Amino acid sequence: MEKYRVPPKTSVDLSTFESYYEGEIDKKDGKDRRKKFGQDLADLQELMYAEHKQKVLIVLQGMDTSGKDGTIEKVFGKVNPQGTKVANFKVPTPKELDHDYLWRVHPHTPGKGEIVVFNRSHYEDVLVVRVHELVPQSVWEKRYDHMNEFERLLADEGTTILKFFLHISKQAQAERFLARLDQPNKRWKFNPGDLDERKYWNDYIAAYEEMLSRTSTPWAPWYVVPSDRKWYRNLVVATVVRDTIMNLNMNFPEEVPDIESYREKLTEMIENKA
């Protein structure tokens, strides 16, 4: 999976990254692996919650229909919601706009023992804000450094950060919009405004390239994930997250002293129906 990781201080050209995976892994094998890794992730999340030391933040960004919701469902579907949260960042509210742009983000970062997934994130403030000129360039230009330092703060305080750009082609996006219209249970997800956003495709690509180039750091790396094939997208994210958490060297808390004596007491209670 390292080939998808963006090295720090790299000038990213998304035309050189594949969006459609063609390789040795077939669809069935890929889905089987992802399911296994999903169960591994559930077990690791239980260990993380019990140990109560580690914090993990997952950031998902991508064009409309790139599969942020689907990735969350398929990769994190088996984890215990008690220790896993999803934060969605939509258009800021009037109250949020009264504060600095990171004010609404920080409260959603993970506490000890938690995995938090950002479905979109603070990076909207160098994407939508830039493309639609909601603030001057002199304002959004400074935000790359803000974001790097914000993530450095989280990392220094013990948060493991993984960021995924779900990379799809313009053709795949059109096909997915059409698929939403063809499925009655998916039509609610279709917004005519999404077609208007397609007119800004090249502007968004430029914004994503600069985002990836300037904010992939040793403490918060970006991965460019081929996402035209949903099963492979899910496999990449599941593999990176699972392998990263496995390497945190976690342990269950020590058992209470003289634990066997409690077994005897409980056995006696059961026998006496006490």
- Domains of the chain (ranges, CATH numbers): 2-271 (3.40.50.300)
Give the pLDDT of residue 195: 87
pLDDT for 170-193, tens place per residue? 999 999 999 888 888 888 888 888
| Residue 109 token pair | 């970062």
- pLDDT-wise least confident of 147-151, 165-169, 184-188, 200-204: 184-188
Determine what percent of the chain is predicted with pLDDT higher than 90: 84
Neighbours of 77 (CB within 10 A): 11
Q: Indicate whether 274 pLDDT > 80.
A: no
Question: Could you tell me the sign of the dihedral formed by the alpha carbons of 144, 166, 31, 186, in that order?
Answer: positive
For the chain, give the mean pLDDT: 95
pLDDT at 213: 98
Give residue 112's pLDDT band: very low, low, confident or very high (50, 70, 90).
very high
**Stretch 12-28: mean pLDDT, rounded?**
96
Token reading at 44: 């690791």
Q: Tell me, what's the pLDDT at 13?
A: 98
**pLDDT > 70: percent of the chain:** 100
CA atoms within 13 A on the CB side of 165: 30
Q: What is the structure's pLDDT at 93?
A: 95
Residues 224, 60: contact at Cβ < 8 Å?
no
Q: How much is the average pLDDT of 143-151?
A: 98
Q: Which residues contact 195 (CB under 8 A, 6 or more apart)?
A: 177
Q: What is the mean pLDDT of residues 101-108?
A: 97
Q: What global pTM score does this model have?
A: 0.93
Please report the pLDDT score of residue 185 as a whole number: 82
pLDDT for 155: 98
What's residue 139's pLDDT?
97
Give the range among 26-30, 33-37, 263-267 with minimum mean pLDDT.
263-267
pLDDT confidence of residue 261: 87
Q: How many CA atoms lie within 13 A of 88 on its CB side?
A: 5
